[in-house]
Amino acid sequence: MRQDVRSQEVVCPVPTHPPHGFSMVEPPLVEIPADRADKPEEACGVFAVLAPGQPVANLTYFGLYALQHRGQESAGMAVFDGPRVRLHKDMGLVSQVFDQEVLERMTGVLAIGHNRYSTTGSSKVCNAQPVVLMTRLGPLALAHNGNLVNAAELRLALDHLSSEFTSTTDSELIAFALQQAVDGGLDWAAAIRQAVGRCRGAFSLVIGTPEGLFAVRDGHGIRPLVFGRLGELEEGQWVASSESCGLDIIGAKYVDQVHPGELIHFRSGGLEPIRQIWCEEPAKLCVFEMIYFARPDSRFFDESLYSYRVRIGEALARQKPVQADIVIGVPDSGIPAAIGYSQFSGIPFADGLIKNRYVGRTFIQPTQAMREVGIRVKLNPLPDVLSGKRVVVIDDSIVRGTTSRKLVQALRDAGATEVHMRISSPPVTHPCFYGIDTDTQDHLIAARLNLDEIEAHLGVDSLAYLSKEGMLESAHAPSSHFCTACFDGQYPIDMDEEVRGSKLMLEPAGLASVIPAPVS
């Protein structure tokens, strides 16, 4: 049975026969704030540790802590200890979901962890991950970052199992497809290949099994996934993470990325992982991972993202110069680009905005009246820095235009005489279907308004975006290796018209692939 008590751990039924020791916490539903941020919002972070003799739950806790920026709605962990799997998941931040008492109960050799921001499936605990199921070969635990575009089709194909579904997520569908393949007689590797072969969309997966840890990535590699090693090779201790910052926090040595279309089997005991390509497609890493999502200390293409973000700031200054007294960045993601803009332009960089770094998903939201009088929960301007100054403010993106407008007004209230906004990415004109929550197209300000109209709406003295070419040429990778669909509508994975139509509100009927020229 389920029990709506946050602090009490209860034994819960799971689809088919749960492994002995399966348990979880079921707290009350947490409402999502209505006043959403003016940013793309990520789907998830995944993390896994295979390390006999190590406190795998504690290591996974810290890994999820490092990946907290990828999802703040829920967190969960499944730990394998012989034939037992202990699962604990809850709504909230990692530090709210887990305490030392919980972690001490979760002993074992393999842990699968997950941070969630919902895209497919609403925000409630039944949709939190990992997903744990029992198969003929023992339990599996699966954590997923990404989004399937054929979830409805896969759900229909698994309809005979519908009575066993406990969530509304595409991640659970992947787990059931894997369970079905195993129960059909395949071994783990073959079953994973068959299951993910039924999936279209973005998926970076970590999968725990009695035979070790598996990591797999979709053919385009839209969402990142890397792996590293704890200790020496002969110790056979492996870590997989959405980003390299998850390895760094626990002292794991980075080895490689899980390549697009690759399946890797990690085993304990000093054995090298078994690597195989299950699918070959053109690489299409989400470029927003580079611009905004991933932490600046995470490594992509043999360098930190901080270095890339400084370069796009330099490119922005080269393309879109302006006369001003100071350059400021919108914390935190706009800071590196602001430094690059300052370095190239010669305009001094200053801290004009202070961020409350302890703001996450909160249980107490400002009332509408409080919003109207300008409550500033996340950012506060510094009048003694801004007063009397012509200000260039650098941000990484504008999605809806809501908080950007409030920010401009706050800068003027603090005494800025001119506000020039520069964006270190092109205009976001199209929604994402691969794991980023960017709303429908009619909510995207650059899809509805031209540059002059956006400028007037925000109340800035000038507005300019980085070109797509400048964004791509600043990366240490071929331009063709990135998905840029949110900027140009060129989606790398085919979708049914019904799926396209669910978000492409402004596209002509039947012509969803015909893309209007973006604002420059």
Total H helices, total E strands in the chain: 18, 25
Mean pLDDT by 10 residues, the chain (520 residues): 30 36 33 46 84 96 96 93 92 93 96 79 71 96 94 90 79 96 97 97 97 97 97 84 98 97 92 95 96 95 97 98 98 95 98 79 50 64 97 95 90 97 96 82 92 96 98 96 96 84 57 32
Q: Which amino acid is at 287?
A: V
Closest CA to 151 of 133, 167, 169: 169
**CATH 2.120.10.70 given to domain 42-281:** no
- The pTM score is 0.87
Task: Give phi and psi for 464, each to the nearest 5.
Answer: -150, 150
Helix (H) or strand (E) holding 263: strand 262-266
Strands, E, within 299-443: which ranges?
Answer: 299-300, 303-304, 326-329, 353-355, 379-381, 390-395, 418-423, 436-437
Task: Give phi and psi for 23, each to the nearest 5.
Answer: -155, 160
Closest CA to 210 of 51, 76, 85, 49: 85
Q: How far is CA 408 from the centre of its chain?
A: 27
What pLDDT sits at residue 366?
A: 53
The domain limits of the chain are 42-281, 307-355+375-477
CA torsion angle for 215, 219, 224, 226 (degrees, to 10)?
A: 40
Dihedral sign computed on CA atoms, order 496, 501, 502, 504 = positive
- In the CATH hierarchy, which fold is given to the domain comprising 307-355+375-477? Rossmann fold (3.40.50)
Q: Which amino acid is at 325?
A: D
Q: How far is CA 146 from the centre of its chain?
A: 8
Helix (H) or strand (E) holding 501: helix 497-501
Residue 129, token pair as written in the block: 């991950």
**What is the distance between the alpha carbons of residues 139 and 184, in angstroms, rounded to a whole number?**
15
Residue with tokens 């907290």: 68
**What is the distance between the alpha carbons of residues 475 and 309, in angstroms, rounded to a whole number?**
9
Q: Is the peptide bond before 332 cis (omega within 30 degrees of 0)?
A: yes
Closest CA to 444 of 379, 375, 503, 391: 503
What pLDDT sits at residue 164?
A: 82
What pLDDT sits at residue 30?
A: 28
Q: Which residues are catalytic?
A: 44
Let me know: does 6 contact 25? Beta carbons within 8 Å: yes
